[in-house]
Amino acid sequence: MIRDTNKWLIFQHRFQQIIQLSDDTIGQNRLVYSPNWVAAQTALIQFGQQIGLTAMVDNYGNVYLDLPGKDDRVIATGSHIDTVINGGKYDGLYGVLGGLQAVDELKERFGTPQHTLRLISFSEEEGSRFKATFSGSKYYALHQSVKDLTDSEGVSFEHARSTAVSHLQSLNDVIVKRPVIPDSFTELHIEQGPRLVTSHDQIGLVSGIVGQRRYTITVQGQSNHAGTTPMNNRHDALQTAVILIAALERRAHELSDSLTFTVGQLTVTPNVSNVIPGTVHFTVDIRHADDSVLNHFEQIINERLTQVADPLTKVTAKRYVKDLPATFDSTLLSQNQQLAEQLGLSARVMVSGAGHDSYVMSQVSPTTMIFVPSEGGISHAPNELTHPADLKAGINLLMASLHAQAY
């Protein structure tokens, strides 16, 4: 168990080695295929090889560390190595190094497993460098590739990928391979929300991931002079947008307590202090575990657009994201529930409001996730924090789960 001080020091040492790569930046910066990213995946490969795991790297730079078992079945765990710009220490990395820790300790205590144990460090999940998310797990699980993207400096995905990946693939004893899909996948991750901290639970057992939809709403009014246009003769796009946003927010609240509604982006044209706004674009992001609730709210949006008071102001909505909710494996969930109880950990079942590699993995393999608390519900920020006791609790539960599945 990681209660063992020596084991905990090894985990901390590995963790610090990766964290130190971002010493000269605000927060953590391991954007996919960047020098820090290459250094982190390289260090991980070495950590794995030092304890006798077989290292594989595929053409997207996903790293796989296998502890070969006695048969062909594969029990996998892992998360993503990349971060957002100026990100926190735990998002992604905790699941990668926590997974390695679990495999390391199981190997030491129980030797060769019945089924192969695999730690996966996905290349990219956050979409922070290129406008593509989950490109690592999508390449592995769905054989999807990224097409024609460049980063903010004009570097193409292809160029960045081939340079970084060839470095990893040329490391000593690394096998160039995209291995078979595992028979199960468990992802350890910080919650990135306040629910566990609020309920004083140590563990979140994730039953699925919310579905999400995003829309761009365009309000087309008429620009005009702010001083000479009478108030009763205006087609002010921003005033219409404000009324609309307030009405939609109220309707979302009425429809379901767990429906999230966010207007995160708003652009006003011409955006000049003495001109009546002629055009407004804003985004709407809605998420819920039940797709029928999202369907219902989409209807509400479409109805509400036709009820704008000013007949000369036109409002249109365009949906650009429609991700169905994911339901995770119920057998793995109830197994983890029992194991948490045996370990004396307080756990609650919850739906994740954020996307994860597990969303992709659940489309090809029975999948589950284990959450640990994020202090203050903060994530994607330098002050992201999970306390050592919670980090240990998550790793211990993951270890118990992998043991139950693979031995």
Binding site for Zn ion (CB under 5 A): 91-92
* Cα 200 from Cα 195, distance rounded (Å): 8
What is the nearest approach in angstroms of Zn ion to the Cβ of residue 357?
8
Which CB atom, from 208 or from 221, has the smaller least distance to Zn ion?
208
Q: Is 97 helix (H, G, I), strand (E, B) or coil?
A: helix
To Zn ion, the closest distance from the beta carbon of 57 in angstroms equals: 21
Q: Are strands 347-352 and 203-209 parallel, antiparallel or unpaired?
A: parallel
Closest separation in Å from C-beta 189 to Zn ion:
6
Which lies closer to Zn ion via its Cβ, residue 90 or residue 215?
A: 90
Using CA atoms, how far apart are residues 105 and 14, in angstroms rounded to an integer? 14
One DSSP character per residue, 136-163 reads: HHHHHHH-----S-B-TTS-BHHHHHHH
The vertex-267 CA angle with 233 and 82, nearest 5°, equals 165
DSSP H or E stretch at residue 237: helix 237-255
Shortest distance, CB of residue 393 to Zn ion, whole angstroms?
19
CA 40 to chain centre: 19
Please say which residue, 92 or 325, places its beta carbon nearer to Zn ion.
92
**How far apart are CB 356 and Zn ion at their closest, in Å?**
6
CB of 355 to Zn ion, least distance (A): 9
Is the separation of the CB atoms in 370 and 187 below 8 Å?
Answer: yes
Distance CA 203, CA 327 (A): 19
Q: How far apart are CA 202 and CA 12, in angstroms?
A: 20
Q: How far apart are CA 118 and CA 77, in angstroms?
A: 6
Question: Please, is 228 exposed, middle or buried when counting C-beta atoms within 10 Å of its C-beta (0-12, 13-18, 19+)?
Answer: exposed
In this complex, which beta carbon is closest to Zn ion, that of residue 57 or of residue 209?
209
Which residue number, 83 or 336, has a Cβ lying nearer to Zn ion? 83
Of 91 and 105, the one with the shorter C-beta distance to Zn ion is 91
Minimum distance from residue 281 beta carbon to Zn ion (Å):
29
CB-count exposure of residue 155 (10 Å: 0-12, 13-18, 19+): middle
Measured from the CB atom, is 78 or 366 closer to Zn ion?
A: 78
Write down the least CB distance from residue 50 to Zn ion, Å: 26
Instruction: Provide the minimum distance between the beta carbon of 362 and Zn ion in the complex, in angstroms, as a whole number.
Output: 15
**138 or 235: whose CB is closer to Zn ion?**
138
Provide the phi-psi class of 179: left if phi over 0, else alpha when psi is between -120 and 50, else beta. Answer: beta
Token pair recorded at residue 59: 């053409």
Nearer Cβ to Zn ion (104/126)? 126
What radius of gyration, in Å, describes the C-alpha atoms of the chain?
A: 24
Q: How far is the CB of 190 from Zn ion (least distance, A)?
A: 8
Q: 27-42: string of b/e by CB count within 10 Å (b at 16+)?
A: bbbbbbbbebbbbbbe
CB nearer Zn ion, residue 105 or residue 126: 126
